[in-house]
Structure 1
Amino acid sequence: MSATTGPTALPCRLIGGPHARVLDDDLDDLVRSAVADAGLHGQDVVLVIPDGTRSCPLPLLVGTLHRHLSPVVRSLTAVIALGTHSYMEAHEIDQLLGVGGEGQPASLAEAYPGLSVVNHEWADPSMLVEVGTIPAARIRELSEGRLDRDAPIVINRRVVEADTAIVVGPVFPHEVVGMSGGNKYFIPGVASQEFIDMTHWVGALITSTEIIGTTGITPVRAMIDEGSRMIPTRRLALCCVVRSGTGDLEAAAFGTPEEAWAAAASIASQTHVEWLDAPMQRVIAVMPTRYDDIWTAAKGGYKTEPAIADGGEVVIYAPHVSEVSEVHHEIYDIGYHCRDYFVKQWADFQHIHWGVLAHSTHLRGQGTYDPETGQEQLRIRVTLATQIPESVCTRINLGYLDPDTVDLQALSEEPGTTVIPNAGEVLYRVRPAAGGPVEPRTTSSTGSTDDS
C-alpha cells in the first residue's frame, strides 16, 4: 500500500497482529522509519490524541513520537480530541500523559520538552475554522438517503493551521461509525458540534446494534472521510490495537488515516469482538473509572446490547458515577428512548442537539414506538447501578439498582447472569443461527429525518 496525501508519499507500515505483542523497540523502529520518510523537517506538527476514556499506552506512543519528531519539526502540539466531551483539567492531562505520579517525570515540560498539550476547545468559536461544506446532495448520497442538508466542516484552528496532523490512538468497535480511530479523530474529535450531531444522528438512524463493529466504510465513516479530506493540513496516523484494560499493544500501523485505520480495524475486529453461541439473559457491565458519567459509561450498554436476549437486561454498574452528563444537560429532559420514539415525533425533538438524541437511542437500544397510542416497546431493560438517584433514573426512562446491594461475586455465580469486568471496549455478538460470524449490516431499512 502507498499513500499519496501530502508532499511525500508514505507507505503504510504495520507491525503486530491479532493477540500479538508489540515491543517498545519495534514501535520505536516503526515511528523512526515513518518520521524519516514523511518529510517533516521544519514543519509545525500537531498530534491529535485521545482523552482518558480509552485504553491506550499514550505516554509510550506520544513519548516515541516526541523522541523522533522534536529534533526535526519547528513546533509540536498535542490536541486532545474531545469531540464534545468535557474539557480535561490540568491534573487529568498530567495523568493521561504519565507525569506527576510516583516514579514519573514531574511535569509535561520534563517528560516532553517543547510539546504543548491543549484541549480541543469545541465550545470556543474563535478556536474553530470552517474548511468547506459538503453539499446536501452529497450528504444524501453518503448517508444512503438518511439525511439531506448542507454540512459545514468546521475544525480546530490548531489542526487547520499546522503543516501536518498525526492522529495517535487506538481502534475499537464503535456505536456510531462501526470501528473508531483514523479520521474519526478529526471528526468528531476536533470538529464543531453541528457536523458531530449530523454524523451521530445518521449512526442512530442505522442504530448502534446494526453498525457497531463494522470494519468497512459505513455511511458515517464515509461522511467523516469526506469531511476530513477538506482539511488543508496533511493528515497522517499512528493507529493502534490495544488489549482492553491494559497498555499492551497488539498492533500498530503508520500511514494515512484511511490506510492505517483499515489495517488496525481489521485486527481489532478479531481481538475486540466476542462471538457467543447463545444470547445473554442479564449482563452486569462493570465500568472502569475512566468513564466518569453515563455519557461515556453507556459504552457498557452499547457493547453488550447486541448479545442480550429479547426481554433481557443490562446493568451499568458504575458506583463512582454520580451524573448522566456534565455537558449535555438535555439528556435529563428527553431521557432514553429507542430511535423510532424520536423519528415518529420528529417535530417535537428536531431542535435538540442530534448528538444527544443519538446517545439516547444508542443506550436504550432497539424498540418500537406507536404514535397513536404513545406506547414505546423496548427490546431490553437498561438499569443503572450508580450514585444517580432512583428518581432521576425513573425520570430518564432507565431502571435503578442500589449499587451498595450489588455483590459481583454472587452475581457471577447466578444462573442467567453474566458479569463483564472492564466493560465498554469489547463488543459482544451472537453467532448467526446458520453459518459463521458475519459483519453487522449497515444498509437495512431505517428511519429518515430529511429536513432540507
Structure 2
Amino acid sequence: MSLFAQCAPPSRQVKTAEVSDVVARAMPQADYRGQRLLLIIPDHTRTAPVGLMFKTLHAHLAPVVKSLDVLVALGTHVAMTEEAICERLEISLAERRDRYGQVRFYNHEWDNPSALRQVGTLSAEEISQLTQGLFAMEVPVEVNKLVFEYDQVVIVGPVFPHEVVGFSGGNKYLFPGVAGPQILNFFHWLGAVVTNPMIIGNQWTPVRQVVDKAGALVNVPKICFCLVVEGHALAGLYAGTPEGAWAAAVELSRQLHITYKDHPYHTILSCAPKMYDELWTGGKCMYKLEPVLADGGELIIYAPHITEISLTHGRVIREVGYHCRDYFLKQWERFKHYPWGVLAHSTHVRGIGTFENGVERCRAQVTLATGIPEDVCRKINLGYRDPRSIQPEAFANREDEGVLLVPKAGEMLFQLKHPPVWAGGRA
C-alpha cells in the first residue's frame, strides 16, 4: 500500500512536516539499521524539491544506516559536476564537506560497459506482447551495476506528462535513468513509432509496459518517492513500490499538469527555461505543445541561452537531421544503424508528418530562436529566427488571434478539448 501526502486547496503545498512524516512511516529506522542505501535522483532538467527529499531522508536515516549515497539518473545526459549535484540537492559546498561528507556522489555512465550489468533479456515474444505487435525482437536489459552494491534502492523523482513513456517517474528512473544503451534505445524508438501525441499524457502505454517489465528484472529491494509539483511547490508526495507510488502520483499529475484548450494555435512561442541547456532537453518545449499546434502552424523554441544541439549526440543529429517518423520508417535500411534513441528525439522535435514518393511533409514548422547558428538550423531541417528579433511580451494575450505564449515550457502538457485525427493517430 502506498503512503502519501497530498495538498488540499487553497494551500497547494505539502508541508515539510508532512514530508518528514511520510519518510518516517515509509522507511522506519529500525528496518534500515546497518544497511547500505543508494538514492537515485534526477539531474537538473526536472523541476522538483529533490533537496528537501534528500535532506529529509538523510536526517532520518543517516544515524542508523551504514551508508547513504547518491546516483544521478542521467540517462544519456551530460555528467554533473560535484558543484552541480550539490545545487540539485540544495546544499552548499561547505555542507557537502561537513554534514554530508560521508555521502558519495555518482553519475550514471550509460556508455561505459564496465559500469553496467545485464540483468536479463526481454524475449521477442514478450516484446511482441508488450508492444501490441509493433516489435518482435530480443532486448537485452542492462542497468548500472552500482545498484547491486546496496541493500536498498531509494528512487526520488517527479511525475510529469512525458513524450516517450506517457508519464515520467517510477521505474523510469531506472530505465532509462540508470540503464544501458540497448534497452534505452529500444523503448525510445518504440515511443517514437507510436508517436508523441498518442503517448504523452496517457498512463498505460506500451513503453510503460516495457519499462515496468525491465524494472522487475532488477532484483534489489526498491522503494520510490514520487513527487508531484505545481510550479516549484510540492503538491503531492507518494511513497511505495515504483509501480504503486507512480500510479497514485499520475492521478494528481493529470489534474495539475495538463491544460486543455478550445482550439489550436497557428503560432506558439515556447520559452525554454535555463534548466534546458541544449536542444536535446529543450526539445520538450515542442513535445508538450504539439497537441495544440495547428496544421501548417509554427512553433518557436525561444531559448537564447541554448547554443548546443547535444554534447553527447550532436554529431549524429547533424548527420540525420530532424524529421517525422515516416521519413525514417520508409527508409529504414538507410537509418536503422543509427542510435534509435537519437532517431526518436529527432521525430519528437519535428512532429507528425508523412513521407511519400521521396517527399517529406511535416504537419507544422518548428523554428529555433536560440544561440544555434542559422546555417546549422537549416542543415538539421529546422527553421531559424534571430532570438534578438523576438520580444516575448509581443506574443502575450493573443490567444483569440491564434497566438500562444508559454513563458516556461517543457513540463506542462497542452491538449485540445476535442483533439483531431492526424496522420500519426489521434492526439
TM-score normalised per structure 1: 0.90
Residue 431 of structure 1, aligned match among 406, 417, 425: 417
The amino acid across from 1:94 in the alignment is C
Q: What is the aligned partner in structure 1 of residue 123 from structure 2?
A: 135
Partners of 1:401 and 1:196 in 2: CA distance: 33
Q: 2:138 corresponds to which residue?
A: 150
Residue 240 of structure 1 deviates from its aligned partner by 0.5
Question: In the TM superposition, what is the alpha-carbon distance from 1:376 to its structure 2 partner?
Answer: 0.6
1:432 to partner: Cα distance: 1.5
Deviation of 1:444 (Å) = 6.2
1:84 maps to amino acid: T
Deviates more, 1:142-151 or 1:111-120: 111-120
Distance 2:265 2:4 in 1: 36
The 5-angstrom pairing of residues 9-408 of structure 1 reads: 12-17=2-7, 20-36=12-28, 39-100=31-92, 106-215=94-203, 217-244=204-231, 246=232, 248-328=233-313, 329-370=315-356, 372=357, 374-408=358-392
Q: Retained in 1: the 8 A contact 2:42–2:156?
A: yes
Deviation of 1:263 after TM superposition, in Å, equals 0.6
Instruction: State the SS of the aligned residue for 2:118.
Output: strand
Contact 1:181 1:261 in 2 (8 A): yes
Gaps of 5+ in 2: none
- The amino acid across from 2:236 in the alignment is A
One-letter identity of the residue aligned with 2:214? G
Q: Deviations over 1:274-332 (max 9, x none)?
A: 01111122111111110000000000000001111111111000000001110002011
> Unaligned 5+ residue runs, structure 1?
3-11, 435-439, 446-452
Return the alpha-carbon distance in structure 1 between the equivalents of residues 67 and 133 of structure 2.
43
Deviation at 1:408, TM superposition (A): 1.0
Matching residue's letter, 2:146:
R
Deviating runs (4+, > 6 A) in structure 1?
none
Which of 24-33 and 140-149 deviates more?
A: 140-149
Question: 1:416, CA displacement in angstroms?
Answer: 2.8
Q: In structure 2, the residue corresponding to 1:106 is in which secondary structure?
A: helix
RMSD: 1.9
The structural deviation recorded for 1:114 is 2.2
Q: Report the AA paired with residue 366 of structure 1.
A: I
Percent of aligned pairs with the same residue?
43
Contact 1:109 1:115 in 2 (8 A): no
**Which residue identity is paired with 1:109?**
R
Deviation at 1:127, TM superposition (A): 1.2
Residue identity in the other structure for 2:245: A
Partner of residue 394 from structure 2, selected from 385, 399, 410: 410
* TM-score normalised by L of structure 2: 0.95
CA contact (8 A) 1:32 1:68 kept: yes
Quick check: 2:127–2:135 contact (8 Å CA) kept in 1?
yes
CA deviation profile, 1:69-107 (whole Å, cap 9, x unmatched): 21222111110000111111222212212233xxxx624
Deviation of 1:194 after TM superposition, in Å, equals: 1.0
Deviation at 1:67, TM superposition (A): 1.1
